[in-house]
Amino acid sequence: MDNSQVVDVLNDVIETCKDGEYGFKTCADNATAPALKQTFQRRASECAGATTELASLVVQYGGKPEDGGSLSGALHRGWVKVVDAVSGTSDQALLNESERGEDAALARYRKALKEEGLPSDVLAVLSRQMLGVQRNHDEIKLLRDQYKASA
């Protein structure tokens, strides 16, 4: 795999991280429970950190880091806005949508990790970050289930 292909893979994952950051910020802005608001803010910050780490790899491999999110991420954020307009955005709805977003992020990381010929330093970063995405997903799912059970 040449450097431009490595950059393409990394930039795809950067889009996912930016989608997560924007989505979690939107959820934090709309959450009513203070603890949930903090969870979403923490997740947004973690996504921003992942983006920074991936961007440095892009530069290392001679590329220009992606500076926007993906179309599907924009749709995800748009969905959060629609829910807000229609229902006043319940914390449950935000958690449901966050879990869906984390499902998409996991799929994107898995796809990246299946790319043949990625350098070992890139594989190490992607693998470590994917474990973080999995933890995020599991925490969001647990919170979603707790909110559902208490409703």
Which parts of the chain sit beneath pLDDT 70?
Answer: 68-88
Query: What is the spatial distance between Cα 33 and Cα 74, in angstroms, rounded to a whole number?
Result: 25
Q: In terms of residues, how long is the chain?
A: 151
Cβ burial, residue 82 (10 Å; 0-12/13-18/19+):
exposed
CB 13 within 8 A of CB 71: no
* The token pair that represents 113 in the structure block: 């990790």
pTM for the full predicted model: 0.85
Predicted confidence (pLDDT) per residue in 94-116, tens digit: 898 888 889 989 999 999 999 99
